[in-house]
């Protein structure tokens, strides 16, 4: 399940993020990579020592992400990681890898879903596409500034080399209430239909039936 989250950040949000990133100290991205991924990773990330600046970035980026209705519906989040803010300069890339299954220190969390929030325009750089291996083949993703892609962290994925400009992204992970990817996808589709029915036909019997089915499937499948 790949979900394109549109307009997570507006133009003013993007301007604010760019202003903060211009003040940031960047360090080697390998410092945050797992054992297997470290050899594939070539980027820079905002230093974890800049706690005040990161808090301001998170207030804008994560504040908007967690309020996005399609994010809530698709992720059904239980635990959400603080994001990494990454810069890919010319020649930088992230070779094919799979995310660590368990991340963080205290508390630990299971990485069910990965999310990339695109922080600058695709016209600002060449290359830098996110490539995700799916059952339907390789998906290549390069979204407008402020949009995000949500996808299973179980997939192999990569970032192609940047050949011009700079790629700016925020990357985070989610432990979902629903561990199983297929169950989570079914709930996303059912939840989308449920939301439309509740908005347009709240008193109809079929709306009540769909609502009953959705709520009780979440109850049955939730991992908490």
Name which CATH class applies to 3-176.
mainly beta
pLDDT of residue 36: 67
- What does the alpha-carbon distance between residue 69 and residue 61 come to, in Å, rounded to a whole number? 15
Helix (H) or strand (E) holding 221, with range, is helix 205-221
At 126, the pLDDT band (50, 70, 90 cuts) reads very high
List, for residues 2-25, the tens digit of each pLDDT value: 999 999 999 999 999 999 999 999
**Which residues fall within 8 angstroms of residue 199, CB to CB, at 6 or more apart?**
none
Please name which of 81, 85, 87, 118 lies closest in space to residue 100, comparing C-alpha atoms: 81
Whether the pLDDT of residue 167 is over 70: the answer is yes
- Give the mean pLDDT of 100-106: 88
Residues of the chain with CATH 2.60.120.620: 3-176
Q: How many residues does the chain have?
A: 224
For residue 111, how far is the Cα from the chain centroid? Answer: 11
Instruction: Give the pLDDT confidence of 57-73 residue by residue, as tens digits.
Output: 999 999 999 999 999 99
Beta strands in 29-166 (DSSP E): 41-42, 44-46, 77-80, 84-88, 93-97, 102-103, 109-110, 113-118, 125-127, 130-134, 137-141, 148-152, 157-159, 162-165
Tokens of 23: 């003040």
Separation of alpha carbons 171 and 81, rounded Å: 9
């Amino acid at each position: 399940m790949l979900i394109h989250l549109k307009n997570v950040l507006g133009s003013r949000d993007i301007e604010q993020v760019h202003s903060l990133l211009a003040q940031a100290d960047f360090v080697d991205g390998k410092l945050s990579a797992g054992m297997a991924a470290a050899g594939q990773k070539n980027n820079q990330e905002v230093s974890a020592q800049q706690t005040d600046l990161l808090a301001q970035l998170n207030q804008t980026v994560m504040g908007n992400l967690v309020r996005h209705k399609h994010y809530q519906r698709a992720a059904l989040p239980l635990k959400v990681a603080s994001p990494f803010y990454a810069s890919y300069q010319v020649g930088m890339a992230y070779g094919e890898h799979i995310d660590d299954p368990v991340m963080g220190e205290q508390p630990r969390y299971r990485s069910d879903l990965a999310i990339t929030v695109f922080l600058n325009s695709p016209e600002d750089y060449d290359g830098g596409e996110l490539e995700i291996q799916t059952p339907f083949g390789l998906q290549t993703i390069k979204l407008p500034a402020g949009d995000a892609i949500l996808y299973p962290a179980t997939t192999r994925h990569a970032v192609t080399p940047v050949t011009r400009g700079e790629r700016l992204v925020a990357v985070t992970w989610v432990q979902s209430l629903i561990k199983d990817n297929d169950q989570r996808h079914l709930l996303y589709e059912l939840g989308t239909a449920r939301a439309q029915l509740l908005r347009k036909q709240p008193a109809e019997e079929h709306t009540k039936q769909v609502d009953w089915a959705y709520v009780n499937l979440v109850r049955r499948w939730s991992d908490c």
